[in-house]
Structure 1
Amino acid sequence: MTFDLAIESIIHTLPSSWKVEEFRRHATLVGEVNAGSGMPLLSLASTGVVSPRNEEGGMGRQIPSESTIERYWIARPGDLVVNPMWLIGGGIGVSQVTGAVSPDYRVYKIGPELFPPFIHHLLRSQPYRDQYRLYARAETTFDRRISKQDFHPMPLLIPPLEEQRRISEFLDAETGRIDQLLGKLRHQRDVLAEREGVTVPLAVAGARLGEGAVNTGVPWLPSMHPKARLVPLLRVLQLQRGVDLSEKERRAGKVPVITTAGRVGWHDVALASGPGVVIGRYGSVGNVHWVEGAYWPHNTTLYVKNFNGNDPRYCYHVLRSLPYEMEQARAAVPGVNRNDLHRQPVVLLPLELQRRVARQLDTEMVQMESARERILRAEALLAERHRALITAAVTGQLDVTTARCTSVA
């Protein structure tokens, strides 16, 4: 047998009781189709979970036609579901439910020498993900498809059946603990984002300065400082669309090129002087970037051409406070329209209060960003622990009969 490169080194260190055999010896393609369209439609997530498919507004997914649904493959509990177009992104998992999956997928019946939950962990482990990447010609939409010719002879690491069960039970318990901790961290991150979403609009309106508050009549901006005025955004600042600058057109220099995602490169000529504020026009709409010096705003962005005599840092926070989701919902195409934003009602404070608010928010931003970074670091460590634990268990590097991984922090 010619071993595949990504798992060749692992094979030489396997316990003596383990076997290495081709995938096709232990799995059979399921050819049962959804005749009569009677089965519930299923989706396969990048997490490996096969679950009922949400057709109503689910990520813009178009509801398939009746004739297409009849060509869907039937998957049953214990069957392996594979998305050959997205194997490198985690598109593989053992189903625990019955239903119909896309005809672009593959469904395999697992043989009696394999315990399906073990195969689920094995084929989602890092060595196999690395192997899928080697099978793919490239990561473009069609070139990343993994062919049957590559997938079927792929070597499987096969412990004795009872050991497969022990490994699966161990991993289910330990990864479940990690997933719970990850869920708590994600909740903390959501709470932090919610706090920021409430704090910024009230702060730029001066409602947190402790000098009384006046009702604005604007749903997303409930109150403002008594000295504030409700005005169109154009009275506060003027936005201008950025200018395209391809990588080939850029020349070595010290001027940052700012896109909707932030700085992506450098150029030798500036289009705007600093300090500047740039927002995403489409793509990552609502991303607001502060630029200290001269810069080049890309055509994927809008930048502040004129601060109208207002404090630039205050204007930065004003743009952070806008309800971009509402603007996008009203738009015919994804993104934000400069003219619509200019008409958006915002609060304008006197200049001395603008500076107080900007200092206040800058301090709070540092604190919130520090908290966010701590959460992200903890998430990254737990995710790495999750990957390493699975790899060690399914490759025989960890004896699960003696392992006690109750601490994952």
Structure 2
Amino acid sequence: MKDIDHPDEALLSVYREHGVVKREGRDDNFNKAALDRSIYQLVHPGWLVVNRMKAWQGAVGISPFRGIVSGHYICFRPTHGEEPRFLNWLFRSGVYTAEFASLSRGVRPNQVEIDNDWLRSLKVMLPLCEEQRRIADFLDAETARIDQIVTLLRVLADRLSERENAVRDGLVEALFEAEGTVPLRRFTTRIEQGESPQCDAVPRQHPNDWGVLKLSSVKRGRFIAVEHKRLPDGVTPNSSYLIKRGDLLVTRANTPNLVGDVAVVGDEVERLLLPDLIYRVGLAEDVSADFIAQVGLSGRVRSFIESVARGSSQSMVKLRGEDIKAWPVPRASRDQQMKLVREVDESAASTARLIDLVRHQLHLLAERRQALITAAVTGQFDVSTASGRNVTDGVTV
């Protein structure tokens, strides 16, 4: 029976990488807690906590804390004398995530659940308690080493992104200083927003289908055509909102740090429509959409956007068309515009190659971390003589 009505207890969550953690102070959890925390269930140190929808991904763990978790989680009170740290590693190993996947049921691959009764029938492999402690000590130490490298690589990726922004800001600011400033309205011919009819929750499945862009199709200067929803059969597409190559898109509503994001449609696209949360900005012939997009991503314009965006909540703010027309833009000839775009693109391509390398290293580390956990808890090697010197071979920082 669930022990609820403890709203003042620490809020806990289950992470694939870490098991049960406290949510306070974390910036990597985007799931909102319920306003009524009295419906959450209380767990104690040593309890097994299972996210029933993500157990197959490893969202399982032995809680080291007292706190409250979602009422949708499955929680088991311990009735054993085993080493909880070993169990924490065991249930998140590849052997058990595969078992959780086989026991989960659902219509779609990412919307499956595991049932309480199925979990109760799960067999648990247990070495002697002394061996459990040795394995837990080994994995605590070795995964900590891997996690340190992961942290360094993520910091490196952030620094690379900052370098790309610094290059853009430097080039844009040099034009401001040399040529002066004019408002974007000097170059705009129109600003329009589309419409968002009720769509299917999936992308289009056939080339003849129509789709409506999602807000996520415009992201940090990139246009992502696959981010759309299928327009249902029977709904007549409004061809005046058809997206075309060269269109300058600006998000109309989003969180404060994302509203006003820009992208240019770089490839030919077919049967994709403009939604009501994205503006399309028409430009005069003597100004490049790619140039305006780079200016829109610069620190000066981002600061301006943050100052004029309006909303009753910090989770969602909006821009008016007049706000976009007021963007500061450096006076620049066509040659100056194309030179800036070319230099930013060259810098971005170099940065992208380095970031791709970092992401590859992170992928290798994640694979090796999981392989190490599975091998240790299943007895594939003797942890008392094993060394972690080879755990990160092929990974450089």
Q: TM-score, normalised by structure 2?
A: 0.74
1:363, distance to aligned residue in structure 2 (A):
1.2
Q: Structure 2 residue aligned with 1:87, among 52, 55, 75?
A: 55
Alpha-carbon distance in structure 2 between the residues aligned to 1:59 and 1:249: 29
Alignment equivalent of 1:371, drawn from 343, 348, 354: 354
% identical aligned pairs:
25
Provide the rounded CA distance (Å) in 1 between the counterparts of 2:158 and 2:107.
Answer: 31
Deviation at residue 371 of structure 1 after TM alignment: 1.3
Give the RMSD, CA atoms, in angstroms: 4.0
**Which amino acid in the other structure matches residue 379 of structure 2?**
G
- Cα distance in structure 2, aligned partners of 1:112 and 1:248: 51
How far 1:183 moved relative to its partner?
0.3
Extract unaligned runs of 5+ from structure 1: 1-30, 208-223
Mapping 1:146-157, distance limit 5 Å: 146-157=114-125
Q: Say yes or no: does 1:404 pair with 2:387.
A: yes
Match of 1:263 in 2: 225
Cα distance in 2, alignment partners of residues 44 and 130 from structure 1: 18
**Cα distance change on mapping 1:60 and 1:124 into 2, 3 Å:** closer
Q: For residues 112-131 of structure 1, what are the structure 2 equivalents within 5 Å?
A: 112-131=80-99
Structure 2 counterpart of 1:353: 336
**How far apart in 1 are the matches of 2:70 and 2:243?**
49
SS at match of 2:382: coil
Q: Work out whether residues 256 and 265 of structure 1, in 8 Å CA contact, stay in contact via their aligned partners in 2.
A: no
Structure 2 counterpart of 1:101: 69
Amino acid at match of 2:287: N
Pairwise mapping of residues 166-177 of structure 1 onto structure 2 (< 5 A)? 166-177=134-145
Q: Is the 8 A contact 2:264 2:289 kept in 1?
A: no
Look up the match of 2:20.
50
Residue pair 1:239, 1:306 contacting (<8 A) in 2 also: no
From 207, 218, 222, give the equivalent of 1:251: 207
* CA offsets 1:55-90 (integer angstroms, 9 cap, x no match): 99985735644xx52x64432322222222332343
Query: Compared with structure 1, are the counterparts of its residues 53 and 275 closer, same or farther at alpha carbon in structure 2 (3 Å cutoff)?
Result: closer
- Taking structure 1 as reference, are residues 232 and 313 closer, same or farther at Cα in structure 2, changes over 3 Å only? closer
The secondary structure found in structure 1 opposite 2:388 is coil
Residue 330 of structure 1 is aligned with which of 289, 306, 310? Answer: 310
2: CA distance, partners of 1:203 / 1:359: 11
2:58 and 2:93 in contact (8 A); partners too: no
1:214 paired residue number: none
Q: Amino acid of the residue matched to residue 345 of structure 2?
A: D
Where do residues 240-319 of structure 1 align in structure 2 (5 Å cutoff)?
240-241=192-193, 251=207, 260-261=216-217, 262-264=224-226, 271-279=242-250, 286=261, 288-293=263-268, 295-300=270-275, 301-319=278-296
Aligned match of 2:221: none
Say which is worse superposed, 55-64 or 94-103, in terms of deviation: 55-64
Partners of 2:185 and 2:371 in 1: CA distance: 50
Q: CA deviation at 1:346?
A: 2.3
Contact 2:41 2:68 in 1 (8 A): yes
- Structure 1 position 61 matched with structure 2 position 40: no
Which of 223, 232, 236 matches 2:184?
232
Amino acid of the residue matched to residue 273 of structure 2? H
Other structure's SS at 2:125 match: strand
Describe the superposition over 1:350-378 as per-residue Cα deviations: whole angstroms up to 9, x where unpaired: 22321221121111111111111111111
The answer (yes or no) to whether the contact 1:258–1:296 under 8 Å persists in 2 is: no
Asked if 1:204 corresponds to 2:172, the answer is yes
**Bigger CA radius of gyration:** 1
> Is structure 2 residue 335 aligned with structure 1 residue 383?
no
**Offset, 1:252:** 5.4
Query: 3-state SS of the aligned residue for 2:356?
Result: helix
Correspondence for 1:339 among 317, 321, 327:
321
SS in 2 for 1:398: coil
CA apart distance, 1:136? 2.4
Equivalent in the alignment of 1:159? 127
For the 8 Å contact 1:272–1:294, the answer to whether it is kept is: yes
Matches within 5 A, 1:27-46: 33=3, 39-46=9-16
Aligned residue pairs, count: 358
Paired amino acid for 2:324: H
Q: For the Cα contact (< 8 Å) 2:42–2:69, is it kept in 1?
A: yes
Q: Which runs of structure 1 show a deviation greater than 6 angstroms over 4 or more consecutive aligned residues?
A: 55-58, 139-142, 243-246, 255-258
Show structure 2 runs of 5+ residues with no match.
218-223, 231-238
